[in-house]
Structure 1
Amino acid sequence: MDTPAVVLGRHLDLLAWNTMAEVLLGSPAGLPPHRLNMLLLMFDDTLTVERSCSDWERQALDYIGMMRSAVAADPTHPRATAVVGELSIRSAEFRRLWARHDVGAAVSGTKTFHVPEVGDVVLDWDTYPLPGAPGSVMLVWTAEPGSPDADRLHLLASLSATRSTVTGKRCR
């Protein structure tokens, strides 16, 4: 499957992902479950050695808007309190963006991934509500069919499959 996708909980916890999402976002293997949160990962300077993508702040604001929407629905939820509290203490950049008070349930947009093997890949993303737990969504990134970004994504999928075969890893 060449389409990267993740499942996010109401407070942006990363609940599931496919192989292509792992190729784009990095492997969450080895991280404790409480660290698997899109906001925590986005503002973790040990994981994001360089924030070279031009639209990083807009992407951060999309996630912050989604978290603010979840907090508005349940202001005292322990998970929201933990994530926002940690980031408020440890990240001046998060504090600055959180202070804007943007609220929104971002449902689509564009994201630029910098992937050393293939260069920049610009993908559209959409969220799809999932039945069951309130606020859970599937986040899917796609490229315009036939575009250079679709070609890069396909090449990246091929490189990933080759590495998995060579190293003996199983694909998910």
Structure 2
Amino acid sequence: MGKNDLGEFLRARRAGLTPDQIGLPVEFGAGRRVAGLRRGEVARLAGVSTEYYTRLEQGRARQPSEQVLDALCDALRLDDIERRHLFALAGAIAGHRDPAGPSARLRPALRQVLESMDLAAAFVSDRNLTVVGGNALWALLFPAVAELPRRERSMARWTLLDPRARLVWCDWERVARDYVHGLRLAAAAQPRNQRIASLIGELMMRSPEFPAWWSEHRVQERSTGLKRLHHPVAGDLELRYEVLTPVADPGHTLVVYSAPTGSPAQERLRLLASWGSEPATATTRDTTGS
């Protein structure tokens, strides 16, 4: 996290709005020298002084009140995820401490859930975005990730840094951008998590695309969707994914990739599972100890 992420986020969202989007007359857009809205326009929409809003963007104002944050969300037309992100950034500036700690081991009951998914690839990640466990089919589907040392075993890190990921994800740029947007949310929610800060620093230095995408200050949280990937054994796959948070493990996230019953993708997953079980390689990957 940077020293003035709140201000940078406000500037990025302000630059992304045009006068007509907020109902200003067309003439307000004539002869403008700035992209998007002016600071004074956002200040007026939020009901604060231009001087105060300027101090917020420059990182010179103290933590704004919830009322001011709500007003800024409305003025900048933020959606629910962006609104939550703005509040998290304000909390980070106030010095709120996040509860993130070292990777926790996978609970036996949750490991059993992973093992029971014969035709679904599933893994669990922790607050640090590190994969702490995955089932056999996930390890077969993403072997390059499963084989990484524990501290490097992150789907976001692999997608952005490993050249092989560009061959696996059929629409690599969309997937990579999604991970960047999700990383923005995680960083704001855990401003003192050094593991996430280190991951961001590594991506800044090693990923050609990451700095530009990070500077866009986009935030997004996908809990379901479709991903297309190519596997050297199973071929092309279209898989639905669901992102779940176990009630007993609020710091963990369960991600499940599956295919509709009877679909070509499901048959290819079945083939992959069969191929991986000969010889006996189909064992659940509890990755916390490696």
Which residue matches 1:12? 129
Go from structure 1 to structure 2 and tell me whether the alpha carbon gap of 1:76 and 1:12 turns closer, same or farther (over 3 Å shift): same
Q: Using the alignment, how far apart are the partners of 2:244 and 2:146 within structure 1?
A: 25
Secondary structure at the aligned position of 2:161 is classed as coil
Within 5 Å, which residues of 2 pair with 1:140-159?
140-159=256-275
Q: Using the alignment, how far apart are the partners of 1:64 and 1:89 within structure 2?
A: 14
Residue 205 of structure 2, aligned match among 89, 109, 121: 89
Within 5 Å, which residues of 2 pair with 1:52-91?
53-91=169-207
Answer yes or no: is 1:118 the counterpart of 2:238: no
- Using the size of structure 1 for normalisation, the TM-score is 0.86
Which residue matches 2:57? none
Counterpart amino acid of residue 67 in structure 1: L
Secondary structure at the aligned position of 1:102 is classed as coil
Q: Highest CA radius of gyration, 1 or 2?
A: 2
- Using the size of structure 2 for normalisation, the TM-score is 0.53
Distance apart, 1:170 and its partner CA:
5.7
Q: Using the alignment, how far apart are the partners of 2:161 and 2:128 within structure 1?
A: 17
Within 5 Å, which residues of 2 pair with 1:123-138?
123-131=239-247, 134-138=250-254
Q: Using the alignment, how far apart are the partners of 1:49 and 1:42 within structure 2?
A: 5
Q: Using the alignment, how far apart are the partners of 1:45 and 1:128 within structure 2?
A: 26
Say whether the 8 Å CA contact 2:168–2:231 is kept in structure 1.
no
Taking every aligned residue pair, what percent have the same amino acid on both sides? 32
Say whether the 8 Å CA contact 1:126–1:140 is kept in structure 2.
yes
Counterpart amino acid of residue 123 in structure 2: V
Q: Using the alignment, how far apart are the partners of 1:58 and 1:84 within structure 2?
A: 19
Which residue matches 2:159? 42
Task: Between the two structures, name the one with larger relative contact order (CA 8 Å, sep ≥ 6).
Answer: 1
Answer yes or no: is 1:51 the counterpart of 2:163: no
Q: Which structure is higher in helix share? A: 2
Say whether the 8 Å CA contact 1:11–1:67 is kept in structure 2.
no
Secondary structure at the aligned position of 1:63 is classed as helix
Counterpart amino acid of residue 37 in structure 1: S
Which residue matches 1:26? 143
Equivalences, count:
167
Counterpart amino acid of residue 10 in structure 1: R
Q: Which structure is higher in strand share? A: 1
Answer yes or no: is 1:161 the counterpart of 2:277: yes
Say whether the 8 Å CA contact 1:4–1:20 is kept in structure 2.
yes
Q: CA RMSD in A?
A: 2.0
Go from structure 1 to structure 2 and tell me whether the alpha carbon gap of 1:144 and 1:119 turns closer, same or farther (over 3 Å shift): same
> Unaligned regions of 5+ residues in structure 2, if any?
1-117, 285-290
Secondary structure at the aligned position of 1:62 is classed as helix
Which residue matches 2:220? 104
> Unaligned regions of 5+ residues in structure 1, if any?
none
